[in-house]
Amino acid sequence: MNPQQYIDSDGKRMVSRLLELVAIPTVNPPGKHYQEVVEKLQEWCQDAGMSTAVHRVPDDVVSAADVDPINPRFNLIARWDVGAARTVHFNAHYDVVPASGVWRFGGAFEPSVQRGWVYGRGAGDMKGSIAALLAAIEALKASGQAPAFNIECSLTADEETGGALGAGHIVKEGLVNADYAVVCEGAAGTRVGCGHNGVLWMDVRVIGKPAHAASPNAGINAFEKMAAIVHRLQSYKKRLASTSREYTDFNGDTRSPTVNIGGVFGGVGQKVNTVPGNASFSIDRRVLPNERIDAVERDLRRSIGVAATAVDGKFELKTLLRIEPCVVDRDHPLPRAFAASLKAVRRRPASFRLTSGFTDLHYFVADGGMPGIGYGVDGRMGHGIDERVRVSDLLQTAKTYAHFMTRGIGA
């Protein structure tokens, strides 16, 4: 039985494991149940015959990243050394975004299989890719097929909040010992991910003056000032749609930079009969490869200042996250080899794309200095209600990983 056949025969276990992973609510922020999921993943990696090591991020490093160490960060490294000349590192994150709303089948962390789909938070982003990756490794082991390269895996924390304590930490600490990297998200189906947009997260805190609601003129309503600033920022949003700012992807598609205002908003010490003395909102600005993040931040800060001045508003700005865009040469042997495996499994020609989101790929490419790509399951409704992934796509993704592992790079 070859690895492809083994994956078909053992598909139920892959789905069962995905259900187990989804049921562990590794919600970030704040970063819950990390140790529980890492212990489970370590057990499965060891069952597959891989050597493993769990690395806890030191509490002082966690605190320095403005994260409460009451929720410790753990990263798992697993290896299968076959004595090959080269090593490929596979990375996947196990944290998920918070869930809300009414789900079609149970709750977000009550996973189920319905009509060929696995439902639950993280099914697509990206615990489904973890299940597929482990299934591919086990298929090679069970069929007696050695990979064409040494396999190194990292299952890491905190990608949903930037990845500095996850993939970023293991690269910085020299825990990655590989020649190439495959981040198990960033493209799906017949597309190979050759990079991602950058991102700039900012917090805008509007400063007012609290007062009793019976005498509102004695205060300065920070909420109203915030609303006025946000309204004036709509002109900034429109400027981003200019054709002069467009970026053309590998396949010829064009995209414009985007900004999302108010993913997080609120205030402190609010009460119905109090004039709010402060209010805050977040800004998520996606940075295209043809932009420089320093220039983007200067422009955004200037635009916020102009909007605030126009409404006589006082404010404070804090940069929460900065990630540069990441682009990989699609003609490098790594994406070409992976594309060949995609074509062999999917029976259709592969293409290359740069994802509009951001992934942990930049840590391996920019900081680790190694060629990398992104590829994982084709999840639907990621970060939304009824997140899900097709069982058939889990199987196809596992087969693609297995084919790439046996085919190698430059074969």
Tell me the pLDDT tens digit for each residue of 252-279: 889 999 999 999 999 987 889 999 999 9
Query: How many helices (H) does the chain have, and how many strands (E)?
Result: 12, 20
**Which of the four pLDDT bands, split at 50, 70 and 90, describes residue 411?**
low
Write out the residue range of the structural domain in which residue 224 sits.
198-323
For residue 270, the model assigns a pLDDT of 82
For residues 327 and 361, give the distance between their C-alpha atoms in angstroms, rounded to a whole number: 9
Asked if residue 178 and residue 42 are part of one domain, the reply reads yes
Question: What is the average pLDDT score of the chain?
Answer: 96
| pLDDT at residue 101 greater than cutoff 60 | yes
Query: CATH code at 221?
Result: 3.30.70.360
**Which of the four pLDDT bands, split at 50, 70 and 90, describes residue 286?**
very high
Tell me the pLDDT tens digit for each residue of 309-357: 999 999 999 999 999 999 999 999 999 999 999 999 999 999 999 999 9
Angle in degrees, CA 3, 6, 11, rounded to 5 = 125
- 117 and 393 in contact (C-beta within 8 Å)? no
How confident is the model over 361-375, as a mean pLDDT?
A: 97
Asked if residue 374 and residue 228 are part of one domain, the reply reads no
Asked if residue 84 and residue 15 are part of one domain, the reply reads yes
| pLDDT at residue 287 greater than cutoff 90 | yes
Asked if residue 112 and residue 145 are part of one domain, the reply reads yes
For residues 57 and 166, give the distance between their C-alpha atoms in angstroms, rounded to a whole number: 8
For residue 269, the model assigns a pLDDT of 79
Asked if residue 361 and residue 312 are part of one domain, the reply reads no
Query: CATH code at 371?
Result: 3.40.630.10
**Which of the four pLDDT bands, split at 50, 70 and 90, describes residue 386?**
very high
**Which of the four pLDDT bands, split at 50, 70 and 90, describes residue 1?**
confident
Of 298, 323, 348, which marks where a domain is finished?
323
How confident is the model over 66-76, as a mean pLDDT?
A: 97
For residues 189 and 350, give the distance between their C-alpha atoms in angstroms, rounded to a whole number: 9
Asked if residue 246 and residue 385 are part of one domain, the reply reads no
For 133-214, where are the E strands, in sequence order?
A: 150-156, 180-183, 191-196, 198-207, 211-212
Total of domains in the chain: 2
Asked if residue 309 and residue 235 are part of one domain, the reply reads yes
Asked if residue 204 and residue 191 are part of one domain, the reply reads no
Asked if residue 246 and residue 269 are part of one domain, the reply reads yes
For residue 59, the model assigns a pLDDT of 97
Chain centroid, CA 41 distance in Å: 19
For 400, residues 6+ apart whose C-beta sits below 8 A from its C-beta are 338, 341, 342, 345, 346, 375
How confident is the model over 223-240, as a mean pLDDT?
A: 97
For residue 14, the model assigns a pLDDT of 98
Tell me the pLDDT tens digit for each residue of 117-154: 999 999 999 999 999 999 999 999 999 999 999 999 99
DSSP 315-340: EEEEEEEEE--EE--TTSHHHHHHHH
Asked if residue 139 and residue 33 are part of one domain, the reply reads yes
Of 323, 348, 363, which marks where a domain is finished?
323
Tell me the pLDDT tens digit for each residue of 33-57: 999 999 999 999 999 999 999 999 9
Asked if residue 189 and residue 51 are part of one domain, the reply reads yes
Of 307, 323, 339, which marks where a domain is finished?
323
**Which of the four pLDDT bands, split at 50, 70 and 90, describes residue 16?**
very high
Tell me the pLDDT tens digit for each residue of 192-216: 999 999 999 999 999 999 999 999 9
Residue 233 has which token pair?
A: 């920022």
Asked if residue 177 and residue 34 are part of one domain, the reply reads yes
| pLDDT at residue 111 greater than cutoff 90 | yes
For residue 11, the model assigns a pLDDT of 93
